[in-house]
Amino acid sequence: MERLETGIHAGRLSPAEYEANFSDLHPRLDNHEALVAADRCYFCYDAPCMTACPTSIDIPLFIRQISTGNPLGSAKTIFDQNILGGMCARVCPTEELCEQACVRNTAEERPVEIGRLQRYATDAAMQVGKQFYVRAEATAKKIAVVGAGPAGLAAAHRLAVKGHSVTIYDGREKSGGLNEYGIATYKTVDDFAQQEVDYIIAVGGIDVRHGALLGRDFSLSDLQSQYDAVFLGIGLAGVNALRIEGENLAGVEDAVDFIATLRQAEDKGKIAIGRRVVVLGGGMTAIDAAVQAKLLGAEEVTICYRRGKEHMNASEYEQDLASSKGVIIRHWLAPKSIVSQDGKVAAIEVEYTKIVEGRLVGTGETGVIAADQIFKAIGQTFDAGGLGSLRMESGRIAVDVEGRTSLDGVWAGGDCVFGGEDLTVSAVAHGRDAAESIHRALSATAAPAVAVA
């Protein structure tokens, strides 16, 4: 096999190879496949799959609706609980949530394909533009939503359906948050994230203002003075630093930025990638970056994680997917320094680690892995700029069970809150539930006083 010179280059593959590599990971089921898959469901009365779903979708019901030839009714059952059900069907770790809880696992060790059935139904509705919701009579209430990611979109849609006027502020050029910028391209093809945003906004009553960044263009107090309520779904904007020698060398990049650039690229052949790539981290971002580096033509891609396989945040399915694409996953390795040559990355020095008395420590034994490109995927941080006196907990926004913050009239949800998970479906649940709480609060203040005899 002919090898390209060491370094970071674009155009490592042919156009046909790029198209094949970044095609849909799990294409939509056809009608026959969906009926066969639905027929495997026991339609459990006390369904454990529902309990495992953060948005509590009535899974047995929507699958029964598919089995009876009613995919649109199935889609409504899904959207009633999760208006971003189409994206969640594509990116949710179903193998750790609903499908892991499926009772079919006990007898057959193969669950009902809940995620693919959910995609089948939601795609059917979106492709014909079927809108299930009509806005209630307009209220005089105005709500600001900061962040056009899953939490913000879910909150905005639910509030708009209630008749309130919603304005979404987002610092980026497009809506969608991580669904638009942070998900592996092969998981959401055909610009699906934007299609879903358009579907959600089509309900009416939602105005989106892009390029408006909290802490730069406005503050939380500004919004409080202009709106009846505020929902914060601002995610995690910062990226953790390695704090090792060589971190600023050419060829060391944030995995989040790499994924975002790739997601927005019309021509994958123009994305430069190294011949030897090392990804640092153990979560979904690390997996997505590593797999896509391989799909772009990198010859050697290695994930280095400082703990063991069982400690990785990425699911076992995703780890296996990476391995199937030729990614090498090495555990118990921590970055020590980045080796340079002519001002560029040449290798990374790593130290072997182990756990002693519950603490991760270095063993003193080191090694070197050749690399011309290194991606950092060691977690993101929360930027509290523009939030004023909002109470924080462990570096995130503190909220109660309804998403209410320490400030009157301000709610929050998604990754930015304490206890938030890096899951689209969890963010949707936060936004939906906060919207219901906001509606109750605004309805209470709008209710006329009742005279007491």
Report the pLDDT value the prediction gives residue 453, as an integer from 0 to 100: 44
Report the pLDDT value the prediction gives residue 446, as an integer from 0 to 100: 63
Please name the residue ranges forming H helices in 97-209.
Answer: 98-101, 104-108, 114-127, 150-161, 178-181, 192-201
| Residue 239 CB-half CA count within 13 A | 18
Residue 218's Cα: distance from chain center in Å?
A: 26
Instruction: For 245-270, write each residue's pLDDT tens digit.
Output: 999 999 999 999 999 999 999 999 99
Torsion sign (Cα): 185, 416, 239, 362: negative
Residue 212: exposure state from Cβ atoms within 10 A (0-12, 13-18, ≥19): middle
In angstroms, the CA 112 to CA 101 distance is 10
For the chain, counts of helices (H) and of strands (E): 17, 19
Report the pLDDT value the prediction gives residue 382, as an integer from 0 to 100: 86
* Span between the terminal Cα atoms of the chain, in Å: 92
In which residue are the tokens 């089509």 written?
202
Tokens of 341: 């040559």
List of the chain residues with pLDDT < 70: 1-6, 446-453
In angstroms, the CA 290 to CA 375 distance is 8
pTM (2 decimals)? 0.93
Please name the residue ranges forming H helices in 169-219.
Answer: 178-181, 192-201
CB count, 10 Å around CB of 74?
27
Between the alpha carbon of residue 426 and those of residues 22, 288, 414, 419, 444, the distances in Å are 27, 20, 7, 10, 27
Give the bridge partners for 273, in sequence order: 9
Report the pLDDT value the prediction gives residue 447, as an integer from 0 to 100: 55
Write out the H or E segment, with its range, that includes residue 362: strand 359-370
Between the alpha carbon of residue 272 and those of residues 98, 120, 326, 418, 450, the distances in Å are 38, 35, 19, 37, 68
